[in-house]
């Protein structure tokens, strides 16, 4: 049997080599025809007017630009979770860009440079990094170019800038709604998170601004041009050079600058271009070539320590609802004896509920660190008021999002007047012949039919902090079954811990008698009282503040009105739950992302 071939770096075709060179030669010929014969001595005289101080400042600006380029790679390494230390991501990224911008064919040369400098990446990931780097940089460059033209040089902005800016500003919204894209060949590409996009945009701005400043400093003394005039033209020239694929953008870059800066003397422009090419292109490429001779040593990876969520931890957790971790790819953060369950979504690293043990202030630093290493917003979902106060003291923004219905089963007395409505529901169920059992073995086939009937009536089940039907998942729960004439008509499942039980799944068929679900929960509460448990949680209902526009419609969409009415029959104590993030923008991103994930995400039950 032949061994499968390892994926290789992209190969250059003859067309990929000849076409960019042809574009470069054509633009250089057009440039020569446009400027006519120039006195070489005049150009060198203009270059000599650049002072040593200007050269030194331009060199510093070049360093700042390449620092931003290297940090760009750091963001992408965190997106792919390569674990490569920051120092090495900066070095490899700067070297790859320095070489690819001189040699052209950026996908091939950039991939090769990254793979050669960091061989532990492997060819496929080096290609993926380079491809995403090129795509994201061009999008960021397009947006910055459009905005700079609109606000600095409006005469250059008509009619393309506004449509381009609005289109590119829609990319983050698209990523929030559809974070995964299916490419040809069933390949799935996860778009960078919104924090990553913001960082990439900022780094692109820093990179291009300092590159333009370096070019401005290398224009001969007396060149009457300001950065506000040069910057939009420089961005357009840079974009033209990159799109052409020509080595160093030679030809399209110069021709675009000459067309957009007609007031600049041609000799001064060419002198500045020569100096810029030497300082910004040739020198960094030479240093990068030296780095290629010897790959960087493989340092310890920066992968955050991920501990599995064990049965023992869930069994002794302060909140039984943490049992939902069995259906996620979540993991455990630990600081000393404090433990926190976290789950990754496209935009967030979210801590579920209160810590399994310990207090939340002990775990804030690990949460922030893990979120930063994956470009995600750190968030805490459905925590208690005590945790919310502690987070607010740490500078987090806090929002009241839900109310949890809690019952002390030891005080549950159906004879009390507070349970008048519940007694009426239970009588109806009893009259209809409904009986409740807790079986030793679950009738999975019959339960699947009930679940399918419920989904057909109510739509796809929600996920994230709410369970979905799965036999392996249900095997860890306490399940109550409702029968009518020995036919299964409904069931309810509960998470269990040493302290409490918490309602998870409720499913009923379309012909289940009125009061069936009430009978299931009443049986669970009575059994919890007999076992001496201190608390039964009927889970949470969404909270929407009274001043929110369209509050009633939002409550209906969330199903909050019906759930609140149903759970109120059991006379619970409604306890507020909160969501928190380090900033208002982070809280907004987390709310939108978790709402999408709850309504559209897919749970993956585990054993």
pLDDT, position 603: 47
pLDDT, position 155: 86
Domains of the chain, residue spans: 53-292, 304-607
Nearest to 490 by CA among 462, 470, 515: 515
The pLDDT mean for the chain works out to 84
Chain segment 51-89, per-residue pLDDT in tens: 899 999 999 999 999 999 999 999 999 999 888 888 989
Q: How far is CA 380 from CA 33, 197, 355, 464, in A?
A: 64, 22, 10, 13
Q: Using the predicted structure, report yes or no on whether residue 605 has a pLDDT greater than 50.
A: no
Residues whose CB is less than 8 angstroms from the CB of residue 39 and which lie 6 or more positions away in sequence, other chains included: 267
pLDDT, position 556: 59
Residue with token string 């446009």: 34
Residue 6 pLDDT grade (very low, low, confident, very high; cuts 50, 70, 90): very low
β-pairing, 338-344 with 331-335?
antiparallel
Helix (H/G/I), strand (E/B), else coil: 508? strand
Residue 7 pLDDT grade (very low, low, confident, very high; cuts 50, 70, 90): very low
Residue 548 pLDDT grade (very low, low, confident, very high; cuts 50, 70, 90): low
- Range of lowest pLDDT (41-45, 379-383, 440-444): 41-45
pLDDT, position 303: 67
Judged on CB neighbours under 10 Å (0-12, 13-18, 19+), 303 is exposed
pLDDT, position 3: 39
Nearest to 599 by CA among 555, 540, 557: 557
pLDDT, position 32: 58
Q: Quickly count: other Cβ atoms within 10 Å of residue 195's Cβ.
A: 22
Q: Quickly count: other Cβ atoms within 10 Å of residue 189's Cβ.
A: 13
The residue that leads in pLDDT, 416 or 6, is 416
- Range of lowest pLDDT (41-45, 254-258, 588-592): 41-45
pLDDT, position 142: 94
Chain segment 120-139, per-residue pLDDT in tens: 888 888 988 998 999 999 99
The residue that leads in pLDDT, 282 or 26, is 282
The CATH superfamily holding the domain 304-607 is Gcn5-related N-acetyltransferase (GNAT) (3.40.630.30)
Determine contact, residues 36/120, Cβ cutoff 8 Å.
no
Q: Using the predicted structure, report yes or no on whether residue 337 has a pLDDT greater than 90.
A: no
Q: Using the predicted structure, report yes or no on whether residue 209 has a pLDDT greater than 90.
A: yes
Distance (Å, rounded) from C-alpha 140 to C-alpha 207?
11
- Range of lowest pLDDT (130-139, 142-151, 308-317, 489-498): 308-317
The residue that leads in pLDDT, 29 or 294, is 294
For 363, the token pair is 């775990």
- Range of lowest pLDDT (239-253, 472-486, 516-530, 555-569): 555-569
Residue 2 pLDDT grade (very low, low, confident, very high; cuts 50, 70, 90): very low
Please report, rounded to a whole number, the percentage of residues in the chain having pLDDT higher than 70: 87
Task: Tell me the range of 159-163, 465-469, 577-581 where mean pLDDT is highest.
Answer: 577-581
- Range of lowest pLDDT (87-96, 369-378, 542-551): 542-551
- Range of lowest pLDDT (59-68, 301-310, 330-339, 452-461): 301-310
Distance (Å, rounded) from C-alpha 603 to C-alpha 345?
11
Residue 491 pLDDT grade (very low, low, confident, very high; cuts 50, 70, 90): very high
- Range of lowest pLDDT (31-40, 98-107, 318-327): 31-40
Q: Tell me the average pLDDT across 336-355.
A: 89
Q: Using the predicted structure, report yes or no on whether residue 414 has a pLDDT greater than 60.
A: yes
pLDDT, position 607: 37
Residue 252 pLDDT grade (very low, low, confident, very high; cuts 50, 70, 90): confident
Query: What length does the chain have?
Result: 607
Q: Tell me the average pLDDT across 173-179.
A: 86
Residue with token string 């320095």: 98
Residue 513 pLDDT grade (very low, low, confident, very high; cuts 50, 70, 90): very high
pLDDT, position 555: 55
Q: Tell me the average pLDDT across 504-533.
A: 90
Q: Using the predicted structure, report yes or no on whether residue 188 has a pLDDT greater than 90.
A: no
Distance (Å, rounded) from C-alpha 414 to C-alpha 412?
7
């Amino acid at each position: 049997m032949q061994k499968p071939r390892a994926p290789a770096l992209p190969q250059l075709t003859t067309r990929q080599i000849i076409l960019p060179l042809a574009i470069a030669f054509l633009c250089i010929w057009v440039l020569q025809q446009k400027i006519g014969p120039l006195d070489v001595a005049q150009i060198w005289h203009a270059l000599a007017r650049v002072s040593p101080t200007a050269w030194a400042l331009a060199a510093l600006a070049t360093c700042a630009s390449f620092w931003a380029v290297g940090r760009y790679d750091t963001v992408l390494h965190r997106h792919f979770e390569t674990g490569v230390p920051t120092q090495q991501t900066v070095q490899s990224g700067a070297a790859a860009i320095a070489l690819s911008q001189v040699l052209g064919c950026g996908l091939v040369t950039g991939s090769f440079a990254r793979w050669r400098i960091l061989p532990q990446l492997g060819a496929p990931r080096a290609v993926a990094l380079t491809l995403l780097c090129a795509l994201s940089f061009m999008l960021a460059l397009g947006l910055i170019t459009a905005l700079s033209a609109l606000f600095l040089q409006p005469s250059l902005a008509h009619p393309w800038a506004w449509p381009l800016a609005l289109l590119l500003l829609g990319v983050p919204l698209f990523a929030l709604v559809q974070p995964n894209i299916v490419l040809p060949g069933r390949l799935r590409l996860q778009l960078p998170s919104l924090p990553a996009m913001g960082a990439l945009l900022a780094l692109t701005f820093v990179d291009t601004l300092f590159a333009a400043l370096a070019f401005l400093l290398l224009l001969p003394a007396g060149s009457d041009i300001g950065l506000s005039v040069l910057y939009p033209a420089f961005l357009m020239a840079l974009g033209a050079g990159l799109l052409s694929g020509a080595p160093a953008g030679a030809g399209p870059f110069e021709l675009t600058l000459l067309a957009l800066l007609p007031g600049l003397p041609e000799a001064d422009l060419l002198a500045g271009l020569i100096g810029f090419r030497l300082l910004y292109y040739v020198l960094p490429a030479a240093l990068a070539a030296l780095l290629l001779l010897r790959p960087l040593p493989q340092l310890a990876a920066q992968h955050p320590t991920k501990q599995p969520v064990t049965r023992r931890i869930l069994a002794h957790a302060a909140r039984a609802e943490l049992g939902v971790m069995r259906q996620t790819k979540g993991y455990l953060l630990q600081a000393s004896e404090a433990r926190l369950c976290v789950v990754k979504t496209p935009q967030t690293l979210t801590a579920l509920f209160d810590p399994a043990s310990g207090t939340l202030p002990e775990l804030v630093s690990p949460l922030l660190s893990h979120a930063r290493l994956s470009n995600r917003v750190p968030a805490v979902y459905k925590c208690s008021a005590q945790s919310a106060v502690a987070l607010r003291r740490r500078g987090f923004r806090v929002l009241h999002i839900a109310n949890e219905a809690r019952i002390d089963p030891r005080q549950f007395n159906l004879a009390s007047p507070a349970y008048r409505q519940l007694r009426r529901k239970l009588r109806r169920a009893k009259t209809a012949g409904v009986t409740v059992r807790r079986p030793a073995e679950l009738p999975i086939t019959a339960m699947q039919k009930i679940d399918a009937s419920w989904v057909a009536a109510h739509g796809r089940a929600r996920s994230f902090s709410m369970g979905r039907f799965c036999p392996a998942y249900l095997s860890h729960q306490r399940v109550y079954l409702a029968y009518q004439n020995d036919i299964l008509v409904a069931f309810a499942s509960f998470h269990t811990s040493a302290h409490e039980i918490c309602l998870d799944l409720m499913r009923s068929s379309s012909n289940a008698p009125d009061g069936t679900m009430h009978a299931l929960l009443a049986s669970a509460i009575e059994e919890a009282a007999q076992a001496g448990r201190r608390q039964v949680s009927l889970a949470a209902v969404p909270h929407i503040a009274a001043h929110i526009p369209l509050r009633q419609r939002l409550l209906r969409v969330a199903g909050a009105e019906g759930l609140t009415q149903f759970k109120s029959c059991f006379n619970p104590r409604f306890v507020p739950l909160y969501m928190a993030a380090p900033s208002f923008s982070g809280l907004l991103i987390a709310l939108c992302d978790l709402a999408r994930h709850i309504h559209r995400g897919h749970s993956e039950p585990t054993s």
